Amino acid sequence: MMITHDTRCALDAVVDLLNTAPEGEAPGAPDSLTDLASLEDFVRRNDVSGVGALGPGDLAAVRAVRARFAEVFAAEDDRTAAERLNALVASAGTTPQLTDHDGYDWHVHYFAPDASVADHLAADGGMALAFIVVAGERERLRYCEAPDCRHTFVDLSRNRSRRYCDSRTCGNRLHVAAYRARRREAAG
């Protein structure tokens, strides 16, 4: 599956945004998008371009976009995902335009000039997810299979075999636990 640089950046931002939410099955898991400082950190971390001064309304709007992205990941089928994406992208007032800023070659921004950070994320992230659905690859939108983690990720592996949000943490932790269980059983 061919993913352009700007689409990959938008997918990464969607995943990062989703993973700021409290994890549904992990008791006491904190929401890490609770104030303007955490929103500013998110914007900086994801290099979201064209964002001016942020205010409390931006925080609430980005959290609402986060909830809508979560609905796309949770969709039972392509039609439901497409309906949710269509509504999300339409609400952002998309205005596709070619741009070549910050040393990047020509690429398409789907958000209107001077769009809010929420509309920027909804438009670019929504279109990136739409490309996944159009390619018939919605099953690549996944949740980590570690029992104590519900982070999201986009499986861009060639054979669609990725199971964990991060192989160095969740994947390695589960592999070590399985190894130790086998050793205890063998010694047992």
**Phi, then psi, of 100 in degrees rounded to 5:** -140, 65
* Distant-in-sequence, close-in-space partners of 89: CB < 8 Å, separation ≥ 6: 110, 122, 123, 126, 127, 130
**How do the pLDDT tens digits run along the chain, 188 residues long?**
778 888 999 999 999 999 999 875 444 568 999 999 999 999 999 999 888 899 999 999 999 999 999 999 999 999 999 999 999 999 998 888 888 887 878 888 888 888 899 999 999 999 999 999 999 999 999 999 988 888 999 999 988 889 888 866 786 666 666 666 677 777 87
CB atoms under 10 Å from CB of 64, counted, come to 12
Per-residue pLDDT, 179: 61
Per-residue pLDDT, 22: 85
In a 10 Å sphere around its CB, with 0-12 CB exposed, 13-18 middle and 19+ buried, how is residue 123 labelled? buried
Q: Please report the sign of the dihedral spanned by the C-alpha atoms of residue 161, residue 163, residue 164, residue 165.
A: positive
Closest residue by Cα to residue 20 from 108, 92, 121: 121
Per-residue pLDDT, 63: 96
